[in-house]
Structure 1
Amino acid sequence: MASAASNLSTLFGNQVFEDVMVFVDDEHSLGICRAAAGSIGFSADAVQDGGITEALNRIEPGHSPKKVVVDISRSLDPEGDITRLVRKMGPTNHLIVIGTSNDVMVFRRMMSLGAHDYLVKPLTTELFSDAVENVDRQAAAVQTAQSGKLTVVIGVRGGTGASTIATNLAWIMANEEKLPAALLDLDLHFGTSTLSLDVESGGGFREALENPHRLDKLFLDSAITKAGDRLAVLGTEEPIEEFVDVNPDSIDALIGEISQDYSQIIVDLPRHLLPTQGALLASADTVVLVSDQTLAGIRDINRITQAMTSLSTKGRIVKVISRVGSERATQVAKADFQKALEEPAEYFVPEDAKTLTVCANAGKSIPTVNAKGPITRVLRQLAADLSGYEEPRKKGLFGLLKKSGKSEG
């Protein structure tokens, strides 16, 4: 936050800071916020007394800090005051509200009015610091597309091979496309990404998900397992009897931190987490829905496609049909399957039990075991589609002939 202490402007003799300003209504909160200011990179002078009333007096349209923290404890019309402040701040700045009510309905009302977060008194330095820093983390997650791609892979039903596809897409991007890639396996109890790549689970993944305020580059590096020079893996095998309390902000925080070092991020998202991951789906460049070619697959891929609208998905949706083969007894004919989908599937991954068995037993990627097989060919096409990778043109006469042959085909 190099510009955190700089002044945006001076209005009526009062300084308005560019990055953060805080307006609270009691001495305890004033002390907490000023104590935390230095550790998260802004001036203690940016913390002011007076609550939201002072914020409304100080901030004018076009002269708003990027982040404003306001106390509504003494406001006679908190909803009206928040509405007026949000209008002054504009759509690109972020508001954090402090109040005394611990009612979830109050939290939801603050969000609907345009607040980014709602904090309940009494404040602690940890609570305050985490809220302010999380604004930057979430902004980084939303902007991942500027430096790379965020892909979320979802199996629309069990046994479709979605985790296998996610793992091998990340491996291809890192090892064949030579792009720095990260694989996040969010099946915290039964995930297979580390097993499939024959690497140990990182020790800090669960803690990062439960305590995003602890997340920084050093902590993330300790949680990551490397599967080669360019592939980072975040996965875990938590005890089945233990519930993992994933903080709603933790996925955004993770992606914001990871995107600084990895241009391709693949998230293996179990379908039962869909209702809780609206922010992740909203920031994804692509959501890959993996189904098998069955009647149940038709039902589930259509249902989840419809749900993407209410889950705020803005990116492209790619439908992948896996485990396709004549030996699959319950398989629907391809023409009938495509006709039954609201939008046709784009990729069909063939069944290859022999290759997959070797991969599972050896902890190796599909291209490593079967470099020229049909299953590998489809996965490479899909990986290039998702990452935007273009194979370098070969120089010389052979390359020209190959290019000419492609264009004629």
Structure 2
Amino acid sequence: MSTIEFNLTKARSAMRVAEFIAFVADKDTEQALKRFVLEEAMPHVYIAIGNVDDAIAHLSKLERSPQFLLVDLHGSAMPLSDLGRLSEVCEPSVQVIALGERNDVGLFRSLLKLGVRDYLVKPLTVELLKRTVNVSQGSVNQVSFARTGKAIAFAGTRGGVGVTTIALNLARYLTGETHRRVAYVDLNLGGGSANSMLGIQSNNGLWEVLQNVHRLDPQYLERTLVAKDQRLFVLSTEQDFDSTIAVVPTTFQRVLELLCNSFHYVFLDVDCARNPLAGAAFDLAKRVYVVSDRSVHSARQCVRLLRHIEGRDNNPQTSVLLNSPNATTQGKVQPGDFAEAIGRTALHEFHFEQKSLQVAENLGERPKEKSPNGFNQSIIRIADDLTGQITKTEPSLLSKVALWRK
């Protein structure tokens, strides 16, 4: 038998009985897999250079699916959709390991929901594979989740719609009344209004960590935060207007992961969807609040913004908040027409506050109004929605009598 015939026979045999099949995009990953296979003495293996489509074509020809399947997501524009197609040619018993280049928590969680056993980030090493694949037991090691905080993004349909006002006062309420620890990240690299509303100065901490990602660890990151009080911390920057701003979004993802390990909530004030950090914010956010006023322009922008956020792999839960940042009462789009235009009902609408908000923002304080339908009560409703709590109501007369008798 010639060498070519032997190789062809060996390849056909591998296609029939391989227990470990891998399709990877580069030679370095292929070599790491081959070293792992040799060290673990795995007898039935098929490793090839290829993508998800190549894996689908290969598996569709097999009589039985492998025990392990590793597939490289390099070059995949829609990884969740591609893995959905892959699942159609795999038996349910296949243990799938996805391989990628992004350290993306949102994508990782979405993949687990699809049934993927684990998601590994390149560069692939033999040690990483040994921690992931238990050859002796024939299983992928169970992924354990550490308890982490939630990243919450706030974005507006236009400037001045009240994103920072709502997000910042929600953070204040959560830290002051529910004792949560909140990290407030102002993504306006030119300097947002959060610091002036809090009465603090920016130390350019956000810019510092983005430029020194190689030094990034929990202790270093904590030193860059500006404390408003014991539970509310701010990460921001104020770059000169004539400075050239270039950032790598993947470094910001690492910043968010570290913050989520230390805080109950990480609030992301997205000043503009075209901000270079906005994509990373939406990709890692557990929840996104889109703030809009009742104008035709905002309705159109709201539709675009919702489509932009919900079309991402992370697909976070989104809610629309309506705000009235000025006293104009004529010419607004009616609530029902606005809901029809954007295809959903707003979670809540904030009414115009004539004086209390402006005074509070200038003094760096919380608003002092106490009206039943005022701004502070609206913040409480949003906080209850975010934390899953039931809004507290005024005790009834019978409950008050019961308290008096105790």
Q: TM-score, normalised by structure 1?
A: 0.64
Give CA deviations for 1:58-82 in whole Å, capped at 9, x if unaligned. 4699xxxxxxxxxxxxxx9633699
Structure 1 residue 390, shift from structure 2 partner: 5.0
| Distance across 1 between alignment mates of 2:122 and 2:224 | 20
The structure that has the greater radius of gyration is 2
Summarize deviations over 1:192-236 as a string: whole Å, max 9, x none: 111110112134321212333321112111110111111111111
| 1:191 and 2:178 correspond | no
Contact 2:148 2:262 in 1 (8 A): no
SS of equivalent to 1:321? strand
Query: 2:271 is matched with which residue?
Result: 270
Q: How far off its partner does 1:240 sit?
A: 1.4
1:11-34, Cα deviation, whole Å (9 max, x unpaired): xxxxxxxxxxxx997xxxxxxxxx
**2:312 aligns to what?**
311
Query: Are the equivalent residues in 1 in contact too, given 2:154–2:267 (CA < 8 A)?
Result: yes
2:341 matches 1:370: no
Aligned runs of 1:328-367 on 2, under 5 Å?
328-366=329-367
Counterpart secondary structure, 2:154: strand
> 8 Å contact 1:130–1:213 — kept in the other structure?
no
Q: Deviations over 1:262-319 (max 9, x none)?
A: 1112111123336864453243221100001111111111121122232234332110
Match of 1:12 in 2: none
Q: Partners of 2:41 and 2:159 in 1: how far apart? A: 53
CA contact (8 A) 2:327 2:354 kept: no
Q: Which is further off, 173-182 or 316-325?
A: 316-325
In the other structure, the counterpart of 1:53 is 34
Counterpart for residue 292 of structure 2: 291
1:78-157 superposed matches below 5 A: 78-79=49-50, 108=75, 114-117=98-101, 146-157=147-158
Farther-moved stretch of structure 1 (109-118 vs 330-339): 109-118
- Structure 2, gaps ≥5 residues long: 1-25, 56-65, 83-97, 103-120, 129-144
Report how far residue 187 of structure 1 moved. Answer: 0.8
| Code of the aligned partner of 1:228 | D
Relative to structure 1, is the Cα distance of residues 224 and 170 closer, same or farther in structure 2, using a 3 angstrom cutoff? Answer: same
Residue in structure 2 matched with residue 302 of structure 1 by the alignment: 303
- Give the CA deviation at 1:376: 1.1
Q: What 5-or-longer segments of structure 1 have no aligned partner? A: 1-22, 26-47, 62-75, 97-106, 119-128, 136-142, 404-409
In structure 1, what is the Cα distance between the partners aligned to 2:204 and 2:163? Answer: 24
> Residues 327, 394 of structure 1: CA spacing in aligned structure 2 closer, same or farther, 3 A cutoff?
closer
* Cα distance in 2 between the residues matched to 1:157 and 1:59: 57
- Is the CA contact (8 Å cut-off) linking 1:60 and 1:89 kept in structure 2? no
Structure 1 pair 298/262, CA: closer, same or farther in 2 (3 Å)? Answer: same
Amino acid in the other structure paired with 2:49: P
Deviation, 1:115, is 3.4
Change (3 A) 1:390 1:379: same
Letter matched to residue 261 of structure 2: Q
Q: Secondary structure at the match of 2:323?
A: strand
Deviation at 1:382, TM superposition (A): 0.5
SS at match of 1:154: strand
- After TM superposition, give the deviation of residue 340 of structure 1 in Å: 2.4
Give the 3-state SS of the residue equivalent to 1:327 in structure 2: coil
- The answer for the alignment partner of 1:104 in structure 2 is none
Separation in structure 2 between the aligned mates of residue 80 and residue 314 of structure 1, nearest angstrom = 24
Q: Could you say which residue in structure 2 is the equivalent of 1:321?
A: 322
Deviation by residue 1:140-180 (Cα, 9 ceiling, x = unmatched): xxx78x54432110011111111111111111111112111
Aligned to 1:381: 381
1-structure distance, mates of 2:78, 2:333: 45
Are 1:212 and 1:247, in contact at CA under 8 Å, matched by a contact in 2? no
Cα distance in 2 for residues equivalent to 1:340 and 1:392: 33
Q: Name the % identity.
A: 21
Distance 1:272 1:391, change over 3 A: closer
Deviates more, 1:151-160 or 1:275-284: 275-284
Q: Partner letter of residue 370 of structure 1?
A: E
Helix, strand or coil at the partner of 2:249: coil
Q: 1:321 to 1:131 in 2, by over 3 A?
A: farther
SS in 2 for 1:271: coil
Q: 1:190-269 maps to which residues of 2 (within 5 A)?
A: 190-269=191-270
CA distance in 1, matches of 2:179, 2:321: 24
Deviation at 1:251, TM superposition (A): 2.6
- Find the residue that maps to 1:151 and give its secondary structure: strand
Q: What SS does the corresponding residue of 1:272 show, helix, strand or coil?
A: coil
Q: Structure 1: which amino acid aligns with 2:241? A: I
The range that moved more, 302-311 or 170-179, is 302-311
Structure 2 vs 1, CA of residues 298 and 80 (structure 1 numbering), >3 Å: closer, same or farther?
closer
Task: State the TM-score, normalizing by the size of structure 2.
Answer: 0.64
Relative to structure 1, is the Cα distance of residues 59 and 160 closer, same or farther in structure 2, using a 3 angstrom cutoff?
Answer: farther
Q: Point out the more displaced range, 383-392 or 153-162.
A: 383-392
Deviation at 1:401, TM superposition (A): 7.3
Q: Which residues of 2 match residues 166-181 of structure 1 at below 5 A? A: 166-181=167-182
> What amino acid is the match of 1:116?
G
Say whether the 8 Å CA contact 2:51–2:72 is kept in structure 1. Answer: no
Aligned to 2:246, the other structure's residue is in SS state coil
Contact 1:170 1:181 survives alignment (8 Å): yes
